[in-house]
Amino acid sequence: MTAADPVTAGGRGSRIAAVEVTPVAFADPPLLNVVGVHPPWALRAILQIRTDDWLLGLGETYGDEAQLARLQAVADRLGGHDPFDLHDLRALVADVLAQERGGAAAGASFGGMLDVDSALETVYSPFEVACLDIQARRAGVPVSALLGGAVRDEVPFSGYLFYRWAGHPGEPEDGWGEALGPDQLVAQARRIVDGWGFGSLKLKGGVLPPEQECAAVEALADAFPGMPLRLDPNGAWTPTTSVRVAERLAGVVEYLEDPTPGIAGMAEVSAQVDVPLATNMCVIAMEHLPPAIAADTVQVVLSDHHLWGGLRRSALLGGITQTWGLGLSMHSNSHLGVSLAAMVHLAAATPNLTYACDTHYPWKTQDVIRPGVLDFAGGEVAVPTTPGLGVELDGDLLGELHEQYLRCGVRRREDTVYMRSIDPTFTPNTSRW
Ligand SMILES: O=C([O-])[C@@H](O)[C@@H](O)[C@H](O)[C@@H](O)C(=O)[O-]
Ligand SMILES: [Mg+2]
Please check whether residue 311 is in contact with residue 128, taking contact to mean a CB–CB distance below 8 angstroms.
yes
What integer pLDDT is reported at residue 2 of this predicted model? 40
E-state strands within 88-216: 108-110, 114-116, 154-162, 201-204
Which residue minimizes the CA distance to atom 7 of ligand 1? 333
Q: What is the pTM of this model?
A: 0.95
Residue 12 to residue 343: CA distance in whole angstroms: 32
pLDDT > 70 fraction of the chain, expressed in percent and rounded: 95
Which residue minimizes the CA distance to atom 13 of ligand 1? 331
How high is the mean pLDDT of the chain?
Answer: 95
Residue 167's Cβ-count burial label (10 Å; 0-12, 13-18, 19+) is middle
Is residue 234 in contact with ligand 1, taking CB distance under 6 Å? Answer: yes
Q: Give the tens place of pLDDT for each residue, 179-218.
A: 999 999 999 999 999 999 999 999 999 999 999 999 999 9
Nearest ligand (C-alpha, residue 307)? 1
Q: What is the mean pLDDT of residues 51-68?
A: 97
Q: Is the pLDDT of residue 241 over 70?
A: yes
Q: Give the tens place of pLDDT for each residue, 68-89.
A: 999 999 999 999 999 999 999 9
Residue type, 23: P
Q: What is the mean pLDDT of residues 117-131?
A: 95
Is residue 31 in contact with ligand 1, taking CB distance under 6 Å? Answer: yes
Output 380 or 8, whichever has higher pLDDT: 380
What integer pLDDT is reported at residue 9 of this predicted model? 38
Q: Give the tens place of pLDDT for each residue, 329-382.
A: 999 999 999 999 999 999 999 999 999 999 999 999 999 999 999 999 999 999
Find the range with the poorest average confidence among 4-8, 57-61, 273-277: 4-8
Residue 358 to residue 380: CA distance in whole angstroms: 11
What integer pLDDT is reported at residue 112 of this predicted model? 65
The alpha carbon of 302 and the centre of ligand 2 are apart by a number of angstroms equal to: 8
Please check whether residue 238 is in contact with residue 38, taking contact to mean a CB–CB distance below 8 angstroms.
no
Ligand 1 atom at shortest distance from the alpha carbon of 331: 13
The alpha carbon of 331 and the centre of ligand 2 are apart by a number of angstroms equal to: 7
Q: Give the tens place of pLDDT for each residue, 140-184.
A: 999 999 999 999 999 999 999 999 999 999 999 999 999 999 999
The alpha carbon of 50 and the centre of ligand 2 are apart by a number of angstroms equal to: 34
Instruction: Indicate which residue of 38, 168, 204, 364 is catalytic.
Output: 204
Which residue minimizes the CA distance to atom 1 of ligand 1? 333
Q: Give the tens place of pLDDT for each residue, 92-111.
A: 999 999 988 765 457 787 76
Q: Which of 204, 335, 360, 361 to mutate to test the pocket of ligand 1 (most atoms within 8 A of CB)?
A: 204
Please check whether residue 144 is in contact with residue 345, taking contact to mean a CB–CB distance below 8 angstroms.
yes
Q: Is 362 helix (H, G, I), strand (E, B) or coil?
A: helix
Is residue 205 in contact with ligand 1, taking CB distance under 6 Å? Answer: no
The alpha carbon of 280 and the centre of ligand 2 are apart by a number of angstroms equal to: 5
Give the CA radius of gyration of the chain: 21
Q: Is 202 a catalytic residue?
A: no
* Conformation bin of residue 194: beta by default, left when phi > 0, alpha when psi is -120 to 50: alpha
Ligand 1 atom at shortest distance from the alpha carbon of 281: 14
Q: What is the mean pLDDT of residues 379-402?
A: 98
The alpha carbon of 353 and the centre of ligand 1 are apart by a number of angstroms equal to: 20
Q: Which of 28, 35, 203, 333 to mutate to test the pocket of ligand 1 (most atoms within 8 A of CB)?
A: 333
Q: Which domains does the chain have, with CATH numbers?
A: 16-140+395-408 (3.30.390.10), 144-382 (3.20.20.120)
Q: Is 331 a catalytic residue?
A: yes
Is residue 333 in contact with ligand 1, taking CB distance under 6 Å? Answer: yes
Is residue 204 in contact with ligand 1, taking CB distance under 6 Å? Answer: yes
Instruction: Indicate which residue of 202, 288, 305, 331 is catalytic.
Output: 331
pLDDT > 90 fraction of the chain, expressed in percent and rounded: 92
Q: In the 3-class helix/strand/coil scheme, how is 263-326 assigned residue by residue?
A: HHHHHHHHCCCCCCEEECCCCCCHHHHHHHHHCCCCCEEEECCCCCCHHHHHHHHHHHHHHCCC
The alpha carbon of 268 and the centre of ligand 1 are apart by a number of angstroms equal to: 23
